[in-house]
Amino acid sequence: MAALGDAILGDLLALGRELGMEPLVEVHTREELARALAAGARILGVNNRDLRTLEVRVETSEELIAAIPEECIAVCESGLRSHEDLARLRAAGFDAFLIGEHLMAQADPAAALRKLLGA
């Protein structure tokens, strides 16, 4: 949402759906979330990384989850490093998680993923 105007978002949502896909719309703030919902987004990704400062705050997801309607799919993105993080955010209402940097920085990404999943 940070890079798109409302009209172009609406166009991109429609195009994705025409192609048989449901777009994931990434938000960082309550204002962006409200704009995404007004445009009809159904899959919302809350990015915990502030793209201006690159600071990561998992609290961003905790602050925004209550504003995501139950009928939407809520995806928590960035800064997830432990099974406890996933469990806490799942209990808060997130349906899915996007984890990249943490796994890619590990010597054994598969083992790191098993640990994240609590296996």
State the DSSP string of 101-118: HHHHTSSSHHHHHHHHTT
CATH number of the domain bearing residue 111: 3.20.20.70
- What pTM did the predictor assign? 0.92
Where in the sequence is the domain holding 107, given as residue range(s)? 27-116
Q: Is residue 6 part of a domain?
A: no
Per-residue pLDDT of the chain (119 residues; tens, 9 = 90+): 889 999 999 999 999 999 999 999 999 999 999 999 999 999 999 999 998 899 999 999 999 999 999 999 999 999 999 999 999 999 999 999 999 888 999 999 999 999 999 98
Please work out, in degrees rounded to the nearest 5, the angle formed at the alpha carbon of residue 10 by the alpha carbons of 4 and 12: 75
Number of domains observed in the structure of the chain? 1
Assign 88 to helix, strand or coil: helix
pLDDT at 108: 95
Site of tokens 């809520």: 74
Q: Is residue 87 part of a domain?
A: yes
* Rounded alpha-carbon distances, angstroms, from residue 13 to 2, 5, 38, 81, 102: 15, 12, 12, 31, 30
Instruction: Report the pLDDT value the prediction gives residue 51, as an integer from 0 to 100.
Output: 87
| 5 occurs within a structural domain | no
Dihedral of alpha carbons 23, 109, 118, 80, sign: negative
Are the C-beta atoms of residues 7 and 17 closer than 8 Å to each other?
A: no
CA distance 80 to 84: 9
pLDDT at 2: 86
